[in-house]
Amino acid sequence: MATLQDIGVSAAINILSAVIFLLVFAVLRLQPFNDRVYFSKWYLKGLRSSPTHAGAFVRRFVNLDFRSYLKFLNWMPEAIRMPEPELIDHAGLDSAVYLRIYLIGLKIFVPIAFLAWAVLVPVNYTDNNVSIAQVTANVTASDIDKLSISNIPARSQRFWSHLVMAYAFTFWTCYVLMKEYAKVAFLRLQFLASEKRRPDQFTVLVRNVPPDPDESVSELVEHFFLVNHPDNYLTHQVVYDANKLSKLVKKKKKAQNWLDFYQLKYTRDSTAKPLMKTGFLGLWGEKVDAIEFQTAEIAKLSTEIAAERKRIANDPKSVMPAAFVSFKSRWGAAVCAQTQQSRNPTVWLTEWAPEPRDVYWENLAIPYVSLTVRKLLMGVAFFFLTFFFMIPISFVQSLASIEGIEKIAPFLKPIIERDFVKSFVQGFLPGIVLKIFLIFLPTILMIMAKFEGFTSLSSLERRAAARYYIFNFVNVFLGSVIAGAAFEQLSSFIKQSADQIPKTIGVAIPMKATFFITYIMVDGWAGIAGEILMLKPLIMFHLKNFFLVKTEKDREEAMDPGSLGFNTGEPRIQLYFLLGLVYATVTPLLLPFIIVFFALGFVVFRHQIINVYNQEYESAAAFWPDVHGRIIYALIFSQVILMGLLSTKKAAQSTPFLIALPVITISFHLYCKGRYESAFVRYPIQEAMMKDTLERAREPNLNLKGYLHNAYAHPVFKESEEEDDEAASSIEEFETESVLVATKRQSRRNTPLPSKASAPSSPSLPEVRRDNHQP
């Protein structure tokens, strides 16, 4: 059981680590040769030029202006200074709303902490139940537990203060959540009304197109929408199974990178041609001329790519029963996306199309009928993953006590009994070991989400985030509390009678606050500070810049910092909401540590969003109902935990009054769901019509069909067009082949050939050319 001294050692280690990370970052960001790493977003936007292109040779790499080092902490006020409207315009609504999660944490827990420390800490500390239990019941405890509810004896009238505070905390949390839900819903509608034209505003994804022996998928889609949406249908893009072609293109790109590397190496030292081994990972095999080998490999892959493109063009089985269907107006797309298209509800399934850069193309090739089976399999796999992970969690909990380590490794007793080592083991080691165990979990959960068949990156991340949250709840929280309490009180369980066990558990559960305090400092303090250092991207950029970069495009790819990572960041924040709400009435000592996490996280991630992260997609804060719901679930769980804890304390008079809290909270959640959630799952017809009307008034000659043509073509086809003109004509041939083909059925109208214009898959597509006719 960690003591105040152990917590102090852990705090010193983690504060020192955080300060070192921040100081190193403050120095590295001032160096010109790191400018593209720590300000990559501004380079990608074309708003910043490299300081290494001018000046003396040394000044290109090292900042010799010593006055700038005196202002090394300026990045903090600069991160906070940008107003939210400007931040939304700069980084998108997703990033701005993600930061509001940290703000909610501060809004909820700062007042709760003041109230808890003013009321509950004195109430807890002035009793003596823990001291009595240590003597009479042989219960493991520390001075920290004297600040918790464990220090109040059974049947005490002091529990009324905890009940009143539980009501106060619940009402305050619900108030903050309602205000934030209303604010985010307003921001979302405002963002959708003011954002620039994007292909997804006019496009729906149609899946499970029924087979027809007389028509191809393309013809069937065209005829169906010409008949059922005659005034609004504009064009469509069928979905191809291009996964094999995509793999070949990636393989060719990798070979091209190696060829660039060896050519650059040869230009620097032309005395000897570079050699390589042809075996696995270049570790063994025959030594050959690297340049000739990679050149031959690229030629071979180019032949395979051309053959695969030809196969896709001629094989009807390569066309999936799905299509991106575009309409003449946002109103038409909204009607189609939000209505049932057929009397058979299992066919012609429509949903809003993700924006082009949000599409996860590989999963569009998965047959729709197999999605249910895939989800079932992944549900079972996730259950077993969660269950079996309890084993390492239990091991981590054994490290949380000196007694547990001495039982496992008695020979370490002389070492770990030393004061500093003991404090380090109990105050720092458990948190860092648990964090190491969780390193590979996000990757596993993302693979599982991809297997389930979600068609957009945003939905993949939301699915992985939901499972990560469940995993954290079951393993990190419940596993640590229940398993840890059971292990620590094992001797008491054996010696006590059965009717005393619930009392022992009731005293033991609050004692796990010490473990979570150490985890918060490792993950929430040092971990957040380490995030801003960006050590891995920094090293990778300099390696790529030295070995691979030849053009400005290569340099842009090398400095790509990635995106925010909602699938890992949001569940991490939710764990802190859970800990704060559960322990607010049980062990208020935890709250200041959580407040530091939210404050530091807000500043650090605001800086990263402004200067570094380049968001992969824009969902207009579609994830907010999930965020709101998880905080509500944490609040309800905290109420149930308090009810169970007070029942073990035999607080018969006060416990029944807690029953109303979950009922009130669930009613509040249902109210918010009915009042605000529709703004995140539906697009109001009124808003769509207003935006269409304004656009027609401002741009009466807009060639919308030219704008939408090729917007939802598979990226591998676009890359082919850029790389190979001949291949591009081949792709165009089979992309437009199905626009109008003579069939046994007669369409109500002819669809003209699509425009040659193609739109890039960026969040805000540039203005397109205008013709003298309306589409």
Q: What is the DSSP string of 354-413?
A: PPGGGB-GGGGGS-GGGHHHHHHHHHHHHHHHHHHTHHHHHHHHHHTSHHHHHHH-GGGH
Return the pLDDT at 716: 82
**329: Cβ–Cβ under 8 A, 6 or more apart, which residues?**
202, 232, 688, 692
Per the CB < 8 A criterion, the answer to whether 350 and 342 are in contact is no
Q: Where are the alpha helices (DSSP H) in 126-152?
A: 129-136
Per the CB < 8 A criterion, the answer to whether 613 and 79 are in contact is no
Return the pLDDT at 531: 86
Nearest Cα residue to 94 out of 445, 557, 565, 466: 565
By DSSP bridging, strand 233-240 and strand 275-277 are unpaired
Nearest Cα residue to 538 out of 513, 559, 563: 559
Nearest Cα residue to 515 out of 115, 142, 132: 142
Return the pLDDT at 367: 85
Return the pLDDT at 114: 95
Q: How far apart (Å, rounded) are the C-alpha atoms in residues 214 and 573?
A: 54
Return the pLDDT at 419: 67
Q: What is the pLDDT of residues 65-95, one digit of tens each?
A: 777 777 777 888 888 889 999 999 999 999 9
Name the 3-class secondary structure at 289: strand
CB atoms within 10 A of CB 715: 15
Nearest Cα residue to 434 out of 485, 392, 482: 392
Which region, left, alpha or beta, applies to residue 197 given φ > 0 means left and ψ of -120 to 50 means alpha? beta
What angle, 0 to 180 degrees and rounded to 10, lies between the N-to-C axes of helices 566-583 and 93-125? Answer: 20
What's the mean per-residue pLDDT of the chain?
80
The list of the chain residues with pLDDT below 50 reads 486, 489, 501-503, 505-506, 725-775
CB atoms within 10 A of CB 582: 25
Q: What is the pLDDT of residues 610-643, one digit of tens each?
A: 999 988 888 999 999 999 999 999 999 999 888 8
Per the CB < 8 A criterion, the answer to whether 557 and 253 are in contact is no
Nearest Cα residue to 600 out of 563, 573, 630: 573
**234: Cβ–Cβ under 8 A, 6 or more apart, which residues?**
202, 326, 327, 328, 704, 705, 708, 775
Q: How far apart (Å, rounded) are the C-alpha atoms in residues 496 and 491?
A: 9
CB atoms within 10 A of CB 179: 12
Return the pLDDT at 763: 38
HSE-up of residue 420 (Cα within 13 Å, Cβ side): 2
Q: Is the sign of the CA dihedral 492, 497, 498, 500 positive or negative? A: negative
Name the 3-class secondary structure at 176: helix
233-240 β-sheet, strand order: 233-240, 319-327, 203-207, 349-352
Helix (H) or strand (E) holding 208: none
Instruction: Give buried/exposed letters for 166-176 (b at 16+ CB in 10 A, else e).
Output: bebbbebbbeb
Nearest Cα residue to 527 out of 36, 13, 3: 13
Q: How far apart (Å, rounded) are the C-alpha atoms in residues 582 and 509?
A: 11
Helix (H) or strand (E) holding 45: none
| E strands in 437-485 | none
| E strands in 241-372 | 275-277, 287-289, 319-327, 349-352
Return the pLDDT at 369: 83
CB atoms within 10 A of CB 11: 17
Residue type (1 letter), 68: S
Return the pLDDT at 734: 36
HSE-up of residue 257 (Cα within 13 Å, Cβ side): 17
DSSP state of 209: P
